[in-house]
Structure 1
Amino acid sequence: MEPPLSDFDFPVGGRVERYTLTHFGASQPHRRNVSLHPDVRYRADAIRTWNRTVTERPGTHEGDAALPLLGRPYMAVRPRALEV
């Protein structure tokens, strides 16, 4: 079963083409499908909001991408543009 490509199931904020921040609450996803700007490369950070740590996830992403996460509750993901 694949997670749906949707921006409406969790709170999302940010600046278009620069970064977004999605908080997952008690959910524990191992991956998040996102629609990123196709002409901009992004790096993704997994943020553990409970203990306030940021872990850069491997690789770069653009367009429709599956961002790897940590599978823990109270996480957020922040794809951030490498160039604008």
Structure 2
Amino acid sequence: MNLYIDPLNGLIVLFGCAIGFLVYRRPVSSANTQPQRDLMGGAATALATILIFAFLLGRGDGQNPESGDDAPRPAPSSSSSPVPGGMIP
């Protein structure tokens, strides 16, 4: 089975992973302890970066916005006749 990934979507994922890796590599140090790496912070940053860029670039749902599927449709018309005197039964 072949899975086609749009090049822009691939770049978004790679950029998010790079940002997450930078956050992971940044040492977190406190008094009298050795520097440690922040795995969960890096993963959360990567996911947040991917999500934000996907929505900013309009790639959130994976559909082509220019496909014409979202063409405006005519509104349904009302088939009831008006009541004389403006009273609603």
Bucket of the pairwise TM-score, normalised by the shorter protein: under 0.3
Question: Which structure is larger by alpha-carbon Rg, 1 or 2?
Answer: 2
Structure number with the higher strand fraction is: 1
Structure number with the higher helix fraction is: 2
Larger RCO: Structure 1 or Structure 2 (Cα < 8 Å, ≥ 6 residues apart)? 1
Q: TM-score, normalised by structure 1?
A: 0.17
Q: TM-score, normalised by structure 2?
A: 0.17
